[in-house]
Amino acid sequence: MPYKYFVRIQDQILSPNELNQLYVKEVATLLNLSSGEVRIEKDADGMPFGFAQEKKMFLSFSHSDNIVAGCVSQSCPVGIDVQKIRPVDLKVLNKICTKNELTQLDLNTENFFRIWTIKEAALKCTGLGFQYGAKKLEINFEAQTVLATEGVEKLNWKKNTLLRFEELSAPQGYKLVVVFRLSAQAD
Ligand SMILES: CC(C)(COP(=O)(O)OP(=O)(O)OC[C@H]1O[C@@H](n2cnc3c(N)ncnc32)[C@H](O)[C@@H]1OP(=O)(O)O)[C@@H](O)C(=O)NCCC(=O)NCCS
C-alpha cells in the first residue's frame, strides 16, 4: 500500500497541542526519522501537509474520543477517518448518499459508519473541504473505490478521479478507513 498509518488509544482525550506533538512523533516513527526531521503544517482549510527531511509528504489525521489515527504517504494524497460507532439517525444517509450507494448495503448503524468514515476520509483526501458535498463522492463497495465526480479539476486531478478505500482493523466499537488516490489519476 502507498501509505503508512498509526492508531493509538490514549488514556485521555488530548488537547490540540498534544495532538500536534503526537502527530509529529508518530509520523517520524513511521518514516524512521527523528521528530526534528518532520514538519507538519495546515493550509487555510485546515488540511494538514508536511515535509520529511524537507521533502513534501501527504498527511491525514483523525480522532474520536481517545482514539487517534493518522496516515502519511510520500506518493499520493491520503485521507483517514476514525469514528466511534454510536446510535444515529439513519435518515442522514439520504443527505450524504447517492441512490446507487443506498442500494449497495443494508441500511443499519454498522453500515452507516462504514459509509460515513469512507466519505469523511475521501473528503480529507481531496482537501476540497467539507462543503464540497458528500454526494459528489460515490462509493463502490465491491470495487473498494470512491469516484470523485466533479470539482476535482481544481486540484488538477482528472474529472471522475478514482480513489481507493481500505477498511482497517480498529479498536472494538470503532470504524477506521484510509482513502488514497492512485497516482495515475493525476493530470
Ligand atoms: C472538520 C472535520 C474535519 C471534523 O471531522 P471529525 O470527524 O469531527 O474530526 P476528525 O478527527 O476525523 O478530523 C479532524 C482532522 O481533520 C483534518 N482536517 C481538517 N480540515 C481538513 C480539510 N479541509 N481537509 C483535510 N483534512 C482536514 C485535521 O487534520 C483535523 O485534525 P486536528 O483536529 O488535529 O486539526 C470535518 O470532518 C467535518 O466538519 N465534518 C462534518 C461532518 C460531515 O458533514 N461529514 C460529512 C460526512 S460524509
What pLDDT digit, counting tens, does each position of 19-29 carry?
999 999 999 99
The whole-model pTM stands at: 0.95
Reported as a pLDDT band with limits 50, 70 and 90, residue 179 is very high
Facing residues of 161 across strands?
148
CB atoms near residue 187 (< 10 Å): 10
The CA distance from 45 to 146, in Å, is 22
Is residue 21 lining ligand 1, measured as CB closer than 6 Å?
no
CA of 20 from ligand 1 middle (Å) equals: 14
- Averaged pLDDT, 114-123: 96
Q: For the chain, how many structural domains are there in total?
A: 1
Does residue 81 form part of some domain? yes
Residue 114 Cβ inside 6 Å of ligand 1? The answer reads no
Atom of ligand 1 nearest to the CA of 64: 11
State mean pLDDT over 158-162: 85
Write down the pLDDT at residue 140. 97
Which ligand 1 atom is at minimum distance from the Cα of 134? Answer: 48
For atom 40 of ligand 1, the residue with the nearest CA is 130
Polymer length in residues for the chain = 187
> Is the minimum distance from the CB of 48 to ligand 1 under 6 angstroms?
yes
187 falls within a domain: no
Closest residue by Cα to atom 46, ligand 1, is 120
- Expressed as residue numbers, the domain containing 101 is 4-181
pLDDT at 186: 56
- CA separation for the pair 109, 95 (Å, rounded): 15
* Grid cell listed for 73: 504517504
Q: Strand pairing partners for 169?
A: none
pLDDT tens per residue across span 86-113: 999 999 999 999 999 999 999 999 999 9
Q: What is the CATH number of the domain that holds 39?
A: 3.90.470.20
